Amino acid sequence: MMTKVSFTGIGTGIVLSVVMYYPLYVILPVNYVVEWSSGSPALGIALSFLGVLLLLAGGLVTARVAKIGSRKQGALLGAMAGSIAGLILFFGLGAAAAGVVGSGNLLAHGPKPTSGEEQFLILLTESVLHTIVWTHQVFWGLLLGSATLGAIGGALTPLQAPDKSLGIIEPDSQLGCILANAALLTSGLSLWITVVILGLLPQAVANAANKVNYSTSIPPASILNWSAGTIMVIFLSVMLCTLLVIRAESTTTSRKRRLAAKVAAYAAAFFLVVIFGLFFLFARDYILNPIFIMGAILSVIMGVQILRIAIALRSQLRQTSLEAPPDDSTPGILQREYWRINFKRLILGVSTASFIPIFAGIVQSILNIVLIPVRMIVVLASYGYPGVDPNPVVDFTSRSLVNSLFVSQRQIAFGAFVITFVLITLLILVLLMIGWIVSRLREAAGSVK
């Protein structure tokens, strides 16, 4: 069922990106770039409305294909498909559009010297502030908006399973343990990297604004609040998913699966200690931030629950026989057989779980800043020099910057996913090969005896 949801979500996202190309790429930049080719605003609004209908239809199709047995199930599946579609739109067009809006004043000014230090610092600080905030706002807007529309479409789908048991959603808690631990590690590291990279930027922006006695339209603290806050929400969501899937696995009758759940629980607790240990070692200034304090409290609460499950499983497994019961034929996530059977799902799932926490706004924000404000600094700062041409000939224009932004955002995001996919595939193949060698060595040792 989850495979169907993924495919319908991906398909909806691709079609949605095609539909929203005109409003986001053709119409939006006209407001900030003088030399941008004009389009029809009415057509842009019509296509945006079509995008809304497409998300509703995507949720409806998802629930219909899954043959739901209740409105609640339809809404859940529709929301999942809608969120996938929203993420695809964000990576393909939304992030670049946010960068254009965030640097709108800078693009309107164009690649030419500013009138002086005051205008230079004002344009630069406002561009950096608005770019980071807008990128994260667009991320959440597309994610939550698409999920909501997909959920509405799924809830409106006619019920197709008179027997509710036919439409029950049965998530694979075994696969969930693997994906949750992968996402937990990457989201935690992404949170730490975000704080380290952007930790000094709010103060730098504030100092630049104070230098020319300028009050920014957005508080400089918004830089870290939006970027780190976004990753913290993702991290907490992953922690909750980790707790739920480990709890579900701990109640199974299979000894192999309970043993795997114990290992997954200890791994999650270890990741939690490592991630927060990095903050106390290298990012102590951030630990007093209210967002970090609240996130740390919730993380510790869930971490303690995970650790309690691990200890309980350890006690249960000690009391059982070392030999698995005859009917315990279901392979656990520690067995090579499970990885071989679920090879395709594991590759796609682990790749996605590793990719999204890293590219959930922070990478796009940095790209938006590097590709517009940073590239324009040299030209903007060339004020005050005798004989400087007020309209210098440079190797880029506002139009070319916007073009480069849309192309680069799309290429880097999807290129990074392909690289992640290939690396995860190689990693899983290596693990399968190691498991095969170990099993052969055990068989050889058994035959000798």
CA-CA-CA-CA dihedral for 256, 258, 264, 266, to nearest 10: -120
Whether the CB-CB separation of 54 and 12 falls below 8 Å is answered with yes
- DSSP letter string, 239-303: HHHHHHHHHHHHT-S-HHHHHHHHHHHHHHHHHHHHHHHHHHHH-GGGGGSHHHHHHHHHHHHHH
d(CA 255, CA 438): 21
Contacts of 203 (CB under 8 A, 6+ apart): 220
* d(C-alpha 4, C-alpha 11), whole Å: 11
The CA distances from residue 414 to 3, 349, 376, in Å, are: 20, 16, 26
Q: Are 407 and 308 in contact (CB under 8 A)?
A: no
| Residue at token pair 């709890």 | 247
The Cα–Cα gap between 7 and 4 comes to 5
Joined tokens for residue 81:
């498909």
pLDDT at site 168: 47
Tell me the residue type at 216: T
Is the separation of the CB atoms in 223 and 132 below 8 Å?
yes
Residue 358 Cα distances to 193, 200, 231, 428, angstroms: 9, 20, 8, 20
Report the pLDDT value the prediction gives residue 170, as an integer from 0 to 100.
54
Q: Distance (Å, rounded) from C-alpha 101 to C-alpha 225?
A: 20
Residue 184 is predicted with a pLDDT of: 93
pLDDT in tens, 311-364: 999 888 887 755 555 445 667 777 788 888 888 889 999 999 999 998 888 899
Distances (CA, A) of 309 to 249, 262, 267: 10, 8, 12
Q: Read off the pLDDT of residues 155-164 as tens digits, 9 standing for 90 and up.
A: 988 877 554 4
Report CA-CA distances (Å) from 293 to 187, 197, 242, 289, 421.
17, 19, 21, 6, 34
Q: Is the pTM of this model over 0.85?
A: yes
Place of tokens 């809006």: 101
| Tokens describing residue 216 | 């920014």
Q: What is the pLDDT of residue 165?
A: 45
Give the pLDDT score at 166. Answer: 43
Q: Rounded CA gap, 288 and 395, in Å?
A: 45
Q: Which ranges of 199-254 does DSSP label H, i.e. alpha helix? A: 201-211, 222-250
Q: Which of the residues in the chain have pLDDT under 70?
A: 1-3, 161-171, 321-330, 384-389, 446-449
CB atoms inside a 10 Å sphere around CB 23: 22
What pLDDT does residue 448 have?
A: 61
Provide the pLDDT for residue 163: 45
3-state SS class at 6:
helix
User: CA 216 → CA 202, 226, 281, 397, distances in Å?
Assistant: 11, 16, 32, 26
Output the six-digit token pair for 31: 């407001």
Q: How far apart are CA 133 and CA 142, in angstroms?
A: 14
Q: Rounded distance, CA 27 to CA 399, Å?
A: 13
